[in-house]
Copies of this chain bind each other. A is one copy, B any other.
């Protein structure tokens, strides 16, 4: 990795990065080779590895850059809407739009379930990304007047993150025209989730929420 932000070297890094994205888009992440990326950027193979620890690291950099780019828009969303529904809709919609030009590449970043794999959405390596994402869901809930039992509420941000991750995965591999099936999935599942949250106060569901709370504790640990 580059130590200092020398302007020249930062330009080289950017050239390699953009060459990589270009090659990824053309050939797909797997078929793309580091040699081709280096050639496309006009540097030697070793230079690519001077700036990026690995092929995977380039995808990580891509995701982090995308996350940065989304920040202002997400802030605006939180400031300009109050209900959980409008916020969730906006946040997730924003992700779709941001990643649309590199939809397939996003697959490379989330193709792995294994929490030990660096590119897994559940890995330690992606914890930073995950936490920043989750923080927005936390804020989306925080000021929106959602009522949930205290045994469940603390887990809601992480559950929403999981929900959004599932949507993104479906989207990445959705081969329908203009990802219409994902749009349908989004609409219906969002409605169901909000309905579920609304129903939380109903006594009938109490026996379901108790084990649900214990379950979440078992999975995630204490709040």
Contact = CB atoms under 8 A, between A and B. Distances in A.
Contacts of A212: 192
Given A111-B114, A188-B211, A195-B207, 14 more contacts: A111-B112, A112-B112, A113-B113, A114-B173, A185-B215, A188-B214, A189-B215, A191-B211, A192-B208, A195-B208, A195-B211, A199-B204, A199-B208, A202-B204
Contacts of A191: 211
Contact of A111 (B113, B184, B204, B208): B113
Nearest to A209: B192
Contacts of A189: 215
A117 interface: yes
B110 A113 contact: yes
Interface SS of chain A: helix, strand, loop or mixed?
helix
A46 B154 CA distance: 55
A169 B117 CA distance: 14
Count of chain copies: 2
A207 B192 CA distance: 9
B188 A208 contact: no
A82 interface: no
A146 interface: no
Contacts of A169: 113
B115 A173 contact: yes
Nearest to A181: B218
Interface in A133-167: none
25 contacts: A107-B114, A110-B113, A111-B113, A111-B117, A112-B112, A112-B113, A113-B113, A113-B169, A114-B173, A115-B173, A181-B219, A185-B215, A185-B219, A188-B215, A188-B218, A189-B215, A191-B211, A192-B208, A192-B211, A192-B215, A195-B207, A195-B211, A199-B208, A202-B204, A204-B204
Nearest to A185: B218
Interface centre among A173, A204, A218 (most CB of B within 10 A): A218
Contacts of A14: none
